[in-house]
Amino acid sequence: MDPKVIEEADRAKDEANAAFKARHFAAAIAGYTQAISLNPNGNPAYYSNRAICHIKLESYGAAIADATKALEIDPTFVKAYYRRGDANFALGKFKLALKDLKLAAKAVPRDVDLKKKLEECEKEVKRQRFEEALAVPDEEVVLVSSTVDLSMMDVEESYKGPRMSGNNKDGYSFDLEFIKAMLQEFREQKLIHRRFAFEILLKAQELFKSQPSLVEISIPDDQHFTVCGDVHGQYYDLLNIWEINGYPSESNPYIFNGDFVDRGSFSVEVIFALLGFKCLYPDHMHLARGNHESKNMNKIYGFDGEVKAKYTSVMADVFRETFCWLPLAYVLNSRVLVLHGGLFSKDDVTLDDIKKIDRFREPPDEGIMCEMLWSDPSPIPGRTPSKRGVGVAFGPDVTRNFLERNKLDLIVRSHEVKESGYEVEHGGLLATVFSAPNYCDQMGNKGAFIRFNGNDMVPHFTTFDAVPHPDVKPMAFANQFMYGM
Active site residues: 292
193 neighbors 161 (Cβ within 8 angstroms): yes
236 neighbors 266 (Cβ within 8 angstroms): yes
269 neighbors 447 (Cβ within 8 angstroms): no
331 neighbors 337 (Cβ within 8 angstroms): yes
| 52: Cα within 13 Å, side-chain hemisphere | 20
Q: How many CB atoms lie within 10 A of CB 77?
A: 21
Closest CA to 92 of 48, 131, 51: 131
